[in-house]
Amino acid sequence: MINRAVLTGRLTRDPEVRYTQSGAAVGSFTLAVDRQFTNQQGQREADFINCVIWRKSAENFANFTHKGSLVGIEGRIQTRNYENQQGQRVYVTEVVVENFALLESRSQSDQRTSGNTNDNGGYNNNAPQSGSANPFGGTGNNGGNNAGNAAPSSQTSQAPADPFAGNGESIDISDDDLPF
């Protein structure tokens, strides 16, 4: 059987972390995920998906995210039920998060929450911000995680030279250089 959920969306509120009687952290949050199509008014609707995250991951998630943060999550869908105070059976369907990824830099997130965006949904549309096109700091794309190595803006103020600019020379690429 396969039960996998992979979602990308924005938090509708700050994650709420509580602790069980045994001391395990449990976080809950709602993720707003845009639909691929628009409605009759030309607006994109969203689904609001309840999520639960456990233990140290819950604490980390709550420390590094807040309302509006763009995140990716991976987990499984779970349905549980309980009886409420009126004696009615209540069913809850939620995603139990096993993995998450922060999909925007802290500076982009802070800029968006302070209201200084161009209303582009937090996406940079390939336009460099603060002189760096890489939202995770650093200027290169070496396949590594440069999150902690962001260079000061004075060092990244010039755009790197275009390696494909027409200087008249052909580019020599062998089949061994291709990743596929």
Residue 32 lies inside a defined structural domain of this protein: yes
Residue 84 lies inside a defined structural domain of this protein: yes
Residue 95 lies inside a defined structural domain of this protein: yes
Residue 64 lies inside a defined structural domain of this protein: yes
| Domain harbouring 61, CATH code | 2.40.50.140
Q: Structural domain of residue 95, as residue ranges? A: 5-102
For the chain, the domain total comes to 1
Per-residue pLDDT tens, the chain, 180 aa: give them: 999 999 999 999 999 999 999 999 999 999 999 998 888 888 889 999 999 999 999 999 999 898 889 999 999 999 999 999 999 999 999 999 999 999 887 777 777 766 644 444 444 333 334 443 444 444 444 444 444 444 444 444 455 565 555 666 665 666 666 665
HSE on the CB side for 119, CA within 13 Å?
A: 0
Token pair, residue 51, equals 């999520």
Residue 143 lies inside a defined structural domain of this protein: no
- Cα gap 13→10, rounded to integer Å: 9
pTM to 2 decimal places: 0.59
- Cα gap 72→95, rounded to integer Å: 12
- Cβ-in-10-Å burial (0-12, 13-18, 19+) of 107 comes to middle
